[in-house]
Amino acid sequence: MIVSERVPASRLMWLLAGFIVWSAAFVALYSMLSIGCAFGWDQAFLGPISVQRAVLVGLLVISLIAGWWVVRIAAERRRAAGGAGLVLRPFIETAAWMAAWAALASTLFSLGPVLFLTACH
Amino acid sequence: MATLWWIMFWGAAVLFVMVGALYTLAWYRPALLARFSVGQWLVGGGLVMPSVVLVGLVAAAFVLGERMIPRPLEEPPLRVYAQAYQWDWRFGYDDSDATTSELHIPAGQPVDVVVTTQDVIHSFWVPRLAGKIDAIPGHENVLRIEADRPGSYRGICAEFCGNGHTTMRFTVVAHAAEDYDNARETAFAEAGR
């Protein structure tokens, strides 16, 4: 007999939270990149950096803070559910915590290049 | 762009040989592989190895992508114009009102192609000369290409644009610098007929 655990949606949500932040950051940066280039923000300067770069890096920083916040909450929920170390128990909370870390690393890896790549041409 | 192709080719070849070696070991020397725990295989093969491959590919793409950007040169390169429509291309030049159905460029020097479209989104791609660039309605994208030597280089539309997409091919003809003007005059005469 298979006994399935009923998992409320709120527990599952934290599995997705990190990558929802990642996807929102991706869409925000991609669209602001095109909007900024269309409006010539790369030609306007705030001190040493262009407005375009300032907007993109600002969005990146906000995304990283949001991703870090998800990691903290996922870690807290896992600890409260009795999880510790690198053991996959309790499963949902541990997977959510690891997914949050993966999403944060992905945000830095895939969006971090706004720090140095050419923004418009 | 051929550089990125070769990087990917040799990367894939190394991975293929590695996987083949693992299969061989699993078959003939299972004890060797059993020394590693399941966790080590998962982290090594599922996290570390793909991370190394991805970081390498992304770094190569960044470097090559930056090189594709048409930066201002001391001597501004020749500009030509590519207009896409469903489902063909017309090519124009600064010094003439006439257009051609093949793009004529001089070989051995950079040429900036100003790409746009009169209807839907298309994409200009001549694999041997440069990467792809989208043709966007109401917007001009500039792609810098250079043919090392005279010849014909095949191009295609690389963004699905409707029923005729698959036949939306074109040719870039690179001429020796001294033949360029004459060759273009001939092309204009043919196009005007």
Model pLDDT, residue A11: 80
pLDDT-derived band at B64 (thresholds 50, 70, 90) equals confident
Model pLDDT, residue A98: 94
Chain A, window 75-114: residues with a beta carbon less than 8 angstroms from a chain B beta carbon? 109, 113
Q: Which two tokens stand for residue B59?
A: 């770094």
Instruction: Taking residues A87-106, report their average pLDDT.
Output: 93
Regarding pTM above 0.90, the answer is no
Question: Per residue in B109-122, pLDDT tens?
Answer: 999 999 999 999 99
Interface probe with A: pick from B38, B63, B69, most Cβ of A within 10 Å: B69
Of A3-17, A86-100, B68-82, which has the strongest mean pLDDT?
A86-100
Torsion of CA A18, A19, A23, A28, to 10 degrees: 10
CB pairs under 8 A between A and B: 11
Beta bridge partners of B172: B103, B153
CATH superfamily of B78-192: Cupredoxins -  blue copper proteins (2.60.40.420)
Question: Per residue in B104-160, pLDDT tens?
Answer: 999 999 999 999 999 999 999 998 888 889 999 998 999 998 898 999 999 999 999
Tell me whether strands B103-106 and B169-175 are parallel, antiparallel or unpaired: parallel
Query: Residue B8 pLDDT more than 90?
Result: no
Closest residue, chain B, to A120 (C-alpha): B69
Instruction: Taking residues B31-54, report their average pLDDT.
Output: 90
Residues A96, A100: Cα–Cα separation, whole Å: 6
Domain ranges across chain B? 2-68, 78-192
